[in-house]
Structure 1
Amino acid sequence: MRFFAQKGLASDISDVWGKLSGYSDAFKKASTGDDGKQYFVPATYYPWAVFYRKSVWQQHGYQQPKTLDDLTALAAQMKKDGLTPIAFADKDGWPAMGTFDILNLRINGYQFHVDLMAGKESWTSDKVKKVFDTWAGLLPLHQPDSLGRTWQEAAQSLQQKKSGMYLLGLFVGQQFSNEEQSDLDFFTFPEIDPAIGAKALDAPIDGYMMARKPKNEDSARKLLEYFGGKAAADITVKNDPATLVANSGADVSGYTALQKKAAELVGSATEIAQFLDRDTRPDFASTVIIPALQQFIKNPKDIGGLTSSIENQKKSIFTD
């Protein structure tokens, strides 16, 4: 949003915000451009976490892992039990960003992560190399051939009880029937460094922006005001059990147990990232990071070459 606002491609909708209620300061901050004006109306949000089916875990006596070592041991046991430990897909390029994000947040902390996304830190640093090295150690526990699989297909392996876990957004629930929703549960990705802990997470916000020159600006502003209001949020609650509404005035009595737990998780987070392709420049995410992460998944051995390539391309893009 900030990128598009800075480029003059989105309209200032601060006047719409003057008519809205039910949004926390955090949501307003997330909707504000570098110039202090608002360019975005939040509608929904969702945390990324590690999802699993309660019935599968009860059957095998699995316990939620508290550390990376716990997670690795759990995954090894799942393999013995005939499960794919971690469902994984990256055909569309963006899902693997969630894995990079959470490992960087757990290993290097929130501030380093956002600075890296802003182009202020080097991708060739030992900190970034440690992220890829840790990921390389976890890759054998992930579903193989991920570059040929969509996130929906990976979610279906969890739904079909073929995989034990899946790191994804709350929208994973879209691949489960209403009856199966109650069998879904999650835990936040475990800590790697006790000094950093496990309180930071990705929780992207989805919402609406207005083009620089809409054909019918008055109606566009009225529509944004409606989207940001209680009525629209109430409709979302009734129709989508796989997301959370941003407006606190909404009637959330219809939230499932999973939605309530997800809202609590976001509320307890000390820092919230928006997801890699939102926290950095979109041109950097699409032209550099997507092919780089897919290359890493195919060949996780040349971390030095990979990070050097990312850094060299980053320098040319961020000087634009």
Structure 2
Amino acid sequence: MMLHASVLAVAVLLGSCWAAPPIDSDPAAYDLENYDVDSDTWDVNSYGETYDYDDLNEEIEVETVAPPPPAVTQPPAVTVPPEAHTEKVTLPPQTTKPQVPPTLDFLGPGLFGPDTGLGMPTCLLCVCLSGSVYCDDSDLTEIPPLPKETTHFYARFNKFTEVKGKDFLNLNQLKRIDLTGNQITTLGEDAFRSLPQLQDLLLVNNKIQVLPELPATMKHIDLRNNRLTSATMHREAFKEMKDLQFLYLSDNQLDYIPGPLPDSLRVLHLQNNNIQSLNQDTFCNSHDITYIRKALEDIRLDGNPVDVNRYAQAYVCLPRLPVGTPH
């Protein structure tokens, strides 16, 4: 029993020796105040592992500091192709009725003129430009309704057979009508008479048999290659036309020269008709031997059965003799 107790005492003594810390030359190493280990946070399951508490403190400090705001970057510039760019324009409120540009005045009540019987405006079917309307070679069978501001109308080489009295109604600024190369046989009696400014009428290469009354404002009349006769023309048809300068009546069926002719006349073409005689007062004034017709310098009578040499007294007032066929 005593021996057993002695052995136990020796074992305890040896165990305490083994568990004692190593001897250090610095006494302060054994001071309890240098031990910072908190028993409350000591994890017995982590025995044998080494913790770096300084690193832990640094992580805590970093996490507690608010992160810096993210850097602001400008969005990349967007390049819009010119054709895809649409500019919005804000117009000021209208206080007065907008004025129509002067260049569009001739278009009348609609932007493209009045509607035709073909279901489209005249200025889409034809070409409207600064008061002139061009309908040449358009296969038209009727005169289309024209804008009220029309001054010149060209409708050559179509399929017109008639000009009605209402076709040019209220066109008070119309100065020139050219219907050359159609198939016109009939002209309405009021087709041209009501046009206050009409100056030029060209009806070449048609089938016209009767010439209606024309306004006194005429300057240029061209009726070549039609079917006119002296009986179907108004008596003294050109007398009151004080500004008439050019009269072309060749290639018709006239029996005599329509007169009296105004003093303003410069050109008279009557070739290829059926004229057989001349009146002494056709060009001159038999009651005034001093009368001189200075303006009329171009008279064509060739292609007629008249003998120009037989009527010398008919030319005494002229600056130049007519061209004709002597017999």
Q: TM-score range by the shorter chain?
A: under 0.3
Determine which structure has more spread, i.e. the larger CA radius of gyration.
2
RCO higher in 1 or 2 (8 Å CA, sep ≥ 6)?
A: 1
TM-score w.r.t. the length of structure 2 is: 0.19
Higher helix share: 1
